A = this chain, B = another copy of it.
Amino acid sequence: MAQPTMQQVAEAAGVSTALVSLVMRGAPNVSDMRRALVLKAAEELGYRPNVLARNLASRRTRTLGVVVNDLHNPFFAEIIDGIQSAAEANGYRILIGNGQHSRRGESDAIETFLQLRVDGLILAGAVVTEDEMERAAKSAAVVAIGRTAASREIDTVNCDESVGTRLVIDHLVGLGHRRISHIDGGSGAGAANRRLGYEESMREFGLGEFINTVRGDFSESGGYNAADELLTLHQRPTAIFAANDLSAAGALDRVEDAGLEVPSDVAIVGYDNTGLAAMHHLSLTTINQPRGVFGRIATELILERIDDGRTTAVHHVVAPTLVVRKTSGPSTETSREEEILV
């Protein structure tokens, strides 16, 4: 496994290691002749720069560590895509660490990256304490996606849940719905914001009296059970807004099991626009968060700190969009009322 070194390339090409170094980094001020010589020697020897040595000597790694809370969540894959393309465009490489859905796992991943001396650290969906993020920020630029941070050392990028929830309510109200219930995410991350957004939006539209939240847990069965509860109400809702797609799928299941039609009897709206929502038989109306954009912006923010030396915190908020599919439609109840009025 012994690999050729710069020294050997230099000797083979009959030049100094410094020149080889310049050539390998694509420096401009090298004669074409020597450049060719070095490149040829490197090629023949199968030379591969030793990044360890390079980074040690230059005290820069041009590497970003990306710690995701949970690799199982497809949400993060798209964020990584956004990070990766933005990083590459700026000459940075990324390394991915798995938080294994635990504070401990995230800590380990962060520590690994810090020991590797990455220039920046992007934490996606992190559950570590803010203290720990601040400590990390002493050694590398840090930006967090999907959570807040008070420290001046940490940038954040988040989605505006209040906009997302208002889009949902606006859409449903526009379809004539008024009895719109919410299946929340219980104590899960982000659940409180969505619940709050739902309530505020309802009040905004003058539907405060129809606010009705039942407890879910972001899971399919949680959605199923919550819908079950909603269907037993003496005045059952004409629309259900679930805190995420998975629980919306569960709710849909329950509603159909009851022999009701979606969306004519009950409209259902999810949140997150996961692959699930796009499936043919589900075809769920939902809120899309521009995940790739999260990654791109996080990367741009971190590079501003690394390359431009920004030292103040920036908190970027991006707006979600509504994706209308087949689980939302006009409220038949309201149309009946309208007929009477006519």
- Distance in angstroms between the alpha carbons of A77 and B3 in the assembled complex: 32
A88 to chain B, nearest CB (A): 9
| CB contact under 8 A between A50 and B117, given known A95-B97, A96-B96 | yes
B50 and A3 contacting across the interface, CB-CB below 8 Å: no
The reply to whether the CB of A81 lies closer than 8 angstroms to some CB of chain B is yes
Binary CB contact string for chain A from 46 to 83 against chain B (1 if under 8 A, 0 otherwise):
10111111011000010000000001101011101100
Copies in the complex: 2
Pick the residue among B100, B114, B281 that contacts A249 (CB under 8 A): B281
- CB neighbours (8 Å) of A77 from chain B are 71-72
A21-50 at interface with B (beta carbon < 8 Å): 46, 48-50
**Contact of A332 with B by CB under 8 A:** no
**One of B78, B93, B220, B279 near A220 (C-beta < 8 A):** B279
Q: Which of A198-231 contact B (CB under 8 A)?
A: 220-221, 224
Which residue among A56, A100, A250 has the maximum number of chain B CB atoms within 10 Å of its CB? A56
Give chain A interface residues in 105-129, CB to chain B under 8 Å: 111-112, 114-117
Q: Determine if A6 is an interface residue (Cβ-Cβ < 8 Å).
A: no
A97 contacts B96, C-beta separation under 8 Å: yes
* A312: Cβ under 8 A from any B Cβ: no
B93 contacts A96, CB within 8 Å?
no
Q: Is A253 an interface residue (CB 8 A)?
A: yes
Bound Cα distance from A95 to B98, whole angstroms: 9
**B55 close to A52 (CB less than 8 A):** yes
For the complex, give the distance between the alpha carbons of A117 and B50 in Å: 7
A168 at the interface (CB under 8 A from B): no
Known A-B contacts A48-B139, A56-B53; the reply to A249 vs B279 at CB < 8 A is yes
